[in-house]
């Protein structure tokens, strides 16, 4: 189990990565290990939207009023360490689109038969990006990224955007555009595929 796993508490607590975890994550990024999953999950998302079979990974669409989202289901071939790093990678990709991190929290809820742990990033557009007309660029609205685990085992990553409807903001980009900006990468070359096992267990 990762040392950054949530404590046993139904209350939200601050989410922190240890210095050791962050060092490993930086190596993971520099070696571009994310290429093993970004493109395949991007493809799986569009396969799911089109109702097509045959995607390597599983994605479910998540929609409710005012929100669009997707659930990227954990595949055991990744290992918990890679999935954790991929969760943080998604956060980093959204931040690079002109966002700031509003909150990073975690909690564990003890159900009768299982424990459900959630790590959550709440990301909001930079507030100073406004035009001469006074309308501010909301990009994709607020964005949340969750990693949900059951009994310490990764379950899924959920990505959701929640656009603002106020007229002081420019129209929001679509969720498809957000997915494209975050996940649309070329497939991993063989030497990057070979690195999956190096990061499977995490820190």
70-105 confidence digits (pLDDT tens):
999 999 999 999 999 999 999 999 999 999 999 999
Neighbours of 152 (CB within 10 A): 14
- The residue with greater pLDDT, 165 or 20, is 20
In this predicted model, what pLDDT tens digit does every residue of 106-127 receive, in sequence order? Answer: 999 999 899 999 999 999 998 7
CA 75/CA 156 separation, integer angstroms: 9
User: Closest Cα to residue 18, out of 34, 5, 31?
Assistant: 5
pLDDT of residue 1: 38
**pLDDT confidence of residue 135:** 82
Helices (H), the chain: 19-30, 38-50, 80-95, 175-183, 190-193
Gap between the Cα atoms of 35 and 19, Å rounded: 24
Pick the closest to residue 142 from 158, 118, 126 (CA basis).
126
What pLDDT score was predicted for residue 161? 96
The reported pLDDT for the residue numbered 47 is 97
**Residue 66: what pLDDT?**
67
Q: Where are the domains of the chain?
A: 13-199
Mean pLDDT score of the chain, rounded to an integer?
A: 92
Rounded CA gap, 160 and 63, in Å? 9
Give the pTM: 0.92
CA angle 82-15-153, nearest 5°?
Answer: 40
Please state whether beta strands 59-64 and 13-14 pair in parallel, antiparallel, or not at all (unpaired): unpaired
CB contact set of 63 (below 8 Å; sequence gap of 6+): 69
């Amino acid at each position: 189990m990762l040392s950054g796993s949530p404590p046993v508490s139904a209350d939200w607590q601050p989410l922190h990565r240890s210095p050791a975890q962050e060092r490993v994550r930086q190596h993971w990024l520099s070696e571009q290990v994310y290429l093993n999953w970004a493109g395949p999950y991007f493809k799986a998302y569009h396969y799911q939207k089109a109702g097509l079979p045959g995607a390597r990974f599983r994605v479910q669409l998540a929609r409710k009023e005012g929100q669009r989202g997707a659930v990227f289901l954990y595949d055991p071939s990744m290992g918990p360490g890679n999935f954790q790093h991929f969760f943080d990678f998604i956060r980093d990709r959204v931040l690079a689109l002109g966002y700031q991190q509003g909150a990073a929290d975690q909690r564990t809820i003890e159900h009768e038969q299982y424990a459900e742990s959630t790590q959550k990033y709440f990301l909001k557009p930079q507030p100073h990006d406004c035009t001469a007309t006074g309308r501010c660029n909301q990009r994709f609205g607020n964005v949340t990224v969750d990693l949900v685990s059951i009994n310490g085992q990764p379950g899924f990553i959920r990505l959701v955007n929640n656009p603002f409807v106020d007229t002081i903001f420019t129209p929001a980009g679509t969720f498809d555009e957000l997915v494209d900006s975050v996940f649309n990468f070329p497939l991993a070359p063989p030497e990057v595929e070979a690195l999956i096992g190096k990061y499977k267990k995490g820190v």
